[in-house]
């Protein structure tokens, strides 16, 4: 049983590392793209353009999280925890988002692994929320600077 704990947690650390890499690469790419937009919009403020940029950021963040859920689901399916990828994907989405309906459960031997996914989901959502907050704050800062110049 102790060997299984190490296996579950070790695999959880590996999948977490992959998901953190996906998150980090996505946010870094978004950051550099946004820097280019912020330089352009500093001189002219447009509500439509700014809202479009924010919507794109939100959608990229959502897709990034779905990719991470899909990675966890692929591992669950590979481990044979579920009969179909659809079940694994559904379970992973409920676990990652910490909704946890309980209508589908993983085998007892992989419950710690599920807990690691929940922890990572909370961390990744928090990281995304702080990124989104920083993005919105930058828009307000640009708007405020423009207003002061008038």
- The pLDDT of residue 95 is 96
- The pLDDT of residue 99 is 94
Give every residue of the chain whose pLDDT is below 50, as ranges. none
Residue 96 Cα distances to 15, 48, 142, 150, angstroms: 12, 33, 35, 47
Question: Of 125, 136, 133, 129, whose CA–CA distance to 51 is shortest?
Answer: 136
- The pLDDT of residue 43 is 63
- The pLDDT of residue 3 is 74
Pick the CATH number of 2-149 from 3.40.50.1000, 3.40.50.2300, 1.10.287.70, 3.90.78.10: 1.10.287.70
DSSP 113-128: HHHHHHHHHHHHHHHH
- The pLDDT of residue 150 is 64
Q: Are 106 and 80 in contact (CB under 8 A)?
A: no
Query: SS3 for 100?
Result: coil
What CA–CA distance (Å, rounded) separates 42 from 128?
24
Burial of 62 (0-12, 13-18, 19+ CB in 10 A): exposed
- The pLDDT of residue 143 is 75
- Give 102's Cβ-side CA count (13 Å radius): 0
Question: Of 80, 112, 95, whose CA–CA distance to 1 is shortest?
Answer: 112
- The pLDDT of residue 42 is 65
């Amino acid at each position: 049983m102790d060997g299984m704990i190490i296996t579950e947690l070790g695999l959880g650390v590996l999948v977490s590392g992959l998901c953190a890499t996906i998150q980090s690469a996505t946010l870094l790419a978004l950051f550099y793209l946004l820097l280019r937009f912020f330089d352009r919009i500093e001189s002219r403020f447009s509500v439509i353009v700014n809202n479009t940029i924010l919507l794109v950021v939100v959608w990229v963040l959502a897709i990034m999280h779905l990719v991470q859920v899909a990675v966890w689901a692929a591992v669950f399916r590979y481990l044979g925890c579920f009969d179909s990828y659809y079940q694994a994907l559904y379970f992973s989405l409920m676990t990652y988002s910490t909704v946890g309906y309980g209508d589908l459960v993983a085998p007892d031997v992989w419950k710690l692994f599920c807990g690691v996914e929940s922890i990572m989901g909370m961390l990744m959502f928090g990281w995304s929320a702080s990124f989104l907050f920083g993005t919105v704050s930058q828009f307000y800062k640009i708007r405020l600077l423009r207003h002061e110049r008038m």
